[in-house]
Chain A
């Protein structure tokens, strides 16, 4: 089920945080992301939206290109004031 609240990671606006809810793609690629620390339950903060995008994951900044083969869905969190 895809709830309305979820959106693709690259659609987060700059500065907005989101919690990863699921990752669609080939098991091998999903596994690779998971090893890197990109897995459901983790919170990321967008730095530079777009394709590719840059976001903050813990203390590291990550550049990621989302395409049809590999999609990360997040549950956006309200903007921090």
Chain B
């Protein structure tokens, strides 16, 4: 336990090493960090709780922390001991939480961390005097150097089973009298049985101060109402005596902290500007600070898009190799196709995003750990306030330009639940990298390559910019709309500590990135796997197309000719290679024939009336439907539907040819072209606004802990996309008609 920015995570890593894993607490999206620590000959489970300033329950973090300490999380015992980490440079404020923790009466060790940093500022902390005053072990530590770790382990072993001594009176006498009275009623109200009297008193104090009743007691209704009425009358008596609740808590505890710390900390007479001050003078400057911030973000994006390219290619090549190997091993048939085209392709579509996501997480973790993140929030707050959010929403939103998944996962830093939800909803509207192949293909094929100003300004680039802008406008409008309707309410004050800069710890960064990537793979992988298999099946079955018959016969004939070739023929003999080419061509034709008559294709024909007003024919409808699990597959599916083969590769090689091909396609049974500029625009608008990404939905589900929000996001964005595409097509078609 400890305040934020006390080096708690570093200390946790030092205690448990690599034996740590993260999960979620049941029912809430608070990270549960667990680790195993060896001390003496025993092994202990160590829990890293979220950094808090107070145990007063207001947010889910505080709720979870208190529940863990009190052993109210299902099945868990109350903790054996609490290790409270305090910042040596900021003892007074850290002692606020410390006094709350001591009152719970659990065995306790205090780690005074970052003593070296405090000493450099001319502060000395007398830990042995502090230990005598508090009556619990006080260990000076430097977690990043591993100093004091063994002493902490030894102290934790020593205090097991010995509660700390009662604090000298913190609260006014009236308060303690009421607490004592309530304690007498504790058992009769069916409160959870606890052997320790101190623990009981601690609970009573917290409940008395918890005027908003956010500490769920878990009592049966009758006992609960009796307990609540007792609490109310106690509070009323205190009010009459001039003891304000909960207002009495801060002054009482700060007064206690000052008494305890008197003579313990020696401060230098004059506080010289620290290195952090000097850096901040520059980095929080309204002009230089913003310039540096823009540069940092530019580097981050360069790294994500360029740095990840070779890794993505490698990942894609790996996926291809696996599917190639699987095709060789498995016999031809539905099982092979399921594994290769359903399972491997589905999981592969998740895996190829890992490099990008990992690089983003590395940047976020480094910025967090070195202390820059809080400055970024400060710099961006002015901007974000205008859309009803705070500076903390900026980094999640910005990350979403690469991929919404890490963006949504980064929203955990936003304490305010409403701000967090609004950010989660806005994030998927921002133009992520998976939309680029669609934009690239359609803009390349349909927007004329006009250039102005010596060829620097091009129409294609401008259109791409417009689609980025569309995403931003939609995201901002969504955030504003939500904050004014469903998520209306007063935001809590923005109060943010700017930690001192420090060198980011490699182990903390590596652990954090590994944990988040693993969460992504698990969350997104399972859902995408399921959807991919479904889409695969819809594209595979019923597989009884009569027109395939002649093609199959042809293939058999060619295979017969090929096997009749002399065995000693060279590998690259033209006779053999030409036959191989013919065979490959035929296999593609057979696959396409099947897919053209698949369930998905029939569904596409069936929904044609719905997509008709968007200017789409049934084939585009199909491709869009197939791209709901992962939007980037649309290009490939379109290639299949129009029998173009590998459209993506073709577009890379010769976009003009693809453009001619697309323009030459006619709608079924008419002379009208299937693709025109209005159709292309309408498809792009649909892709800009629609949440065609199973991974994002899965992550929203994980981060909001219910299916309701992802379902709402899906419905909202699909409607928005449909209406947007409809308006685009109708207006563009009308304009095209007038021009012509």
By a beta-carbon cutoff of 8 Å, the part of chain A in contact with chain B is 25-39, 47-48, 50-52, 54, 58-65, 67, 69-70
Give complex CA distance A5, B385 in Å: 30
Please pick, from B493, B494, B497, the residue contacting A61 in the complex, using a CB distance under 8 A: B497
* Nearest Cβ on chain A to B205's Cβ, whole angstroms: 15
Closest to B267 in A: A59
* Nearest Cβ on chain B to A81's Cβ, whole angstroms: 13
Give complex CA distance A57, B206 in Å: 27
* Contact of B385 with A54 in the complex, beta carbons under 8 Å: no
* Contact of A32 with B495 in the complex, beta carbons under 8 Å: yes
Residues on A with C-beta less than 8 A from B87 are 59
Query: B555 interface residue, CB < 8 Å from A?
Result: no
Given contacts A35-B56, A58-B93, A61-B497, 7 further A-B contacts (CB under 8 A): A28-B58, A33-B495, A37-B92, A50-B286, A59-B118, A59-B121, A65-B493
Residues on A with C-beta less than 8 A from B250 are 31, 34-35, 39
* Contact of A62 with B496 in the complex, beta carbons under 8 Å: yes
Question: How many residue pairs at the A-B interface have CB separations less than 8 Å?
Answer: 99
* Contact of B53 with A48 in the complex, beta carbons under 8 Å: no
Of the listed residues A27, A30, A35, A65, the one surrounded by the most CB atoms of chain B closer than 10 A to its CB is A35
Give complex CA distance A63, B669 in Å: 66
Residues on B with C-beta less than 8 A from A59 are 87, 89-90, 118, 121, 123
Which residues between 66 and 116 of chain B lie within 8 Å of chain A, taking CB atoms?
87, 89-90, 92-93, 96
Closest to B500 in A: A61
Query: B254 interface residue, CB < 8 Å from A?
Result: yes
Please pick, from B54, B254, B385, B496, the residue contacting A63 in the complex, using a CB distance under 8 A: B496
* Contact of A65 with B381 in the complex, beta carbons under 8 Å: yes
* Nearest Cβ on chain A to B381's Cβ, whole angstroms: 5
* Contact of A37 with B493 in the complex, beta carbons under 8 Å: no
Binary per-residue interface labels of chain B (273-289) against chain A in the complex, 1 for a CB within 8 Å, 0 otherwise: 00011001000101000
The list of the 5 closest CB pairs from A to B, nearest first, reads: A34-B250, A65-B494, A61-B498, A63-B496, A35-B54
Closest to A64 in B: B495
* Contact of A58 with B90 in the complex, beta carbons under 8 Å: yes
Residues on B with C-beta less than 8 A from A52 are 378, 381-382, 391, 494
* Contact of B492 with A32 in the complex, beta carbons under 8 Å: yes
Please pick, from A32, A61, A70, the residue contacting B276 in the complex, using a CB distance under 8 A: A61
At the interface, is chain A mostly helix, strand, loop or mixed?
mixed
Residues on A with C-beta less than 8 A from B276 are 61
* Contact of B53 with A63 in the complex, beta carbons under 8 Å: no
Binary per-residue interface labels of chain B (497-511) against chain A in the complex, 1 for a CB within 8 Å, 0 otherwise: 110000000000000
Residues on A with C-beta less than 8 A from B89 are 59-60
The verdict on A33 contacting B493 (CB below 8 Å), with A27-B247, A52-B382, A61-B498 known, is: yes
* Contact of A70 with B493 in the complex, beta carbons under 8 Å: yes
Give complex CA distance A35, B52 in Å: 11
Query: B26 interface residue, CB < 8 Å from A?
Result: no
Give complex CA distance A61, B279 in Å: 13
* Contact of A37 with B492 in the complex, beta carbons under 8 Å: no
Residues on A with C-beta less than 8 A from B212 are 28
The verdict on A69 contacting B490 (CB below 8 Å), with A27-B247, A35-B53 known, is: yes
Give complex CA distance A36, B253 in Å: 12
Residues on A with C-beta less than 8 A from B246 are 31
* Nearest Cβ on chain B to A31's Cβ, whole angstroms: 6
* Nearest Cβ on chain A to B7's Cβ, whole angstroms: 14
* Contact of A29 with B493 in the complex, beta carbons under 8 Å: yes
Contacts A/B (CB < 8 Å), 28 sampled:
A29-B493, A32-B58, A32-B493, A33-B493, A35-B56, A35-B96, A35-B249, A36-B93, A37-B92, A37-B93, A37-B96, A37-B254, A39-B251, A47-B277, A50-B286, A52-B382, A52-B494, A54-B280, A58-B92, A60-B497, A61-B497, A62-B497, A63-B497, A64-B495, A64-B496, A65-B381, A65-B390, A70-B493
Of the listed residues A60, A67, A70, the one surrounded by the most CB atoms of chain B closer than 10 A to its CB is A60
Residues on A with C-beta less than 8 A from B249 are 31, 35
Query: B583 interface residue, CB < 8 Å from A?
Result: no
Closest to A47 in B: B280
Please pick, from A28, A60, A63, the residue contacting B494 in the complex, using a CB distance under 8 A: A63
Closest to B212 in A: A28
* Contact of B385 with A65 in the complex, beta carbons under 8 Å: yes
Closest to A14 in B: B281
Give complex CA distance A61, B54 in Å: 18
Give complex CA distance A35, B490 in Å: 20
* Contact of B247 with A31 in the complex, beta carbons under 8 Å: yes
Give complex CA distance A36, B254 in Å: 10
* Nearest Cβ on chain A to B495's Cβ, whole angstroms: 5
Which residues between 240 and 270 of chain B lie within 8 Å of chain A, taking CB atoms?
246-247, 249-251, 254
* Contact of A54 with B498 in the complex, beta carbons under 8 Å: yes
Give complex CA distance A26, B492 in Å: 10
Give complex CA distance A26, B490 in Å: 10
* Nearest Cβ on chain B to A32's Cβ, whole angstroms: 7
Residues on A with C-beta less than 8 A from B414 are none
* Contact of B93 with A51 in the complex, beta carbons under 8 Å: no
Binary per-residue interface labels of chain B (351-376) against chain A in the complex, 1 for a CB within 8 Å, 0 otherwise: 00000000000000000000000100
Query: B377 interface residue, CB < 8 Å from A?
Result: yes
Give complex CA distance A27, B248 in Å: 12
Closest to B93 in A: A37
* Nearest Cβ on chain B to A72's Cβ, whole angstroms: 10
Binary per-residue interface labels of chain B (17-31) against chain A in the complex, 1 for a CB within 8 Å, 0 otherwise: 000000000000000
Residues on A with C-beta less than 8 A from B286 are 50
Residues on B with C-beta less than 8 A from A69 are 490, 493
Closest to B391 in A: A52
Give complex CA distance A80, B496 in Å: 26
Closest to A40 in B: B251
Residues on B with C-beta less than 8 A from A61 are 276, 280, 497-498
* Nearest Cβ on chain A to B298's Cβ, whole angstroms: 24
Which residues between 482 and 533 of chain B lie within 8 Å of chain A, taking CB atoms?
490, 492-498
* Nearest Cβ on chain A to B85's Cβ, whole angstroms: 15
* Nearest Cβ on chain B to A69's Cβ, whole angstroms: 6
Residues on B with C-beta less than 8 A from A58 are 90, 92-93
* Nearest Cβ on chain A to B255's Cβ, whole angstroms: 11
Give complex CA distance A15, B58 in Å: 34
Closest to B498 in A: A61
Please pick, from B254, B377, B495, the residue contacting A62 in the complex, using a CB distance under 8 A: B495
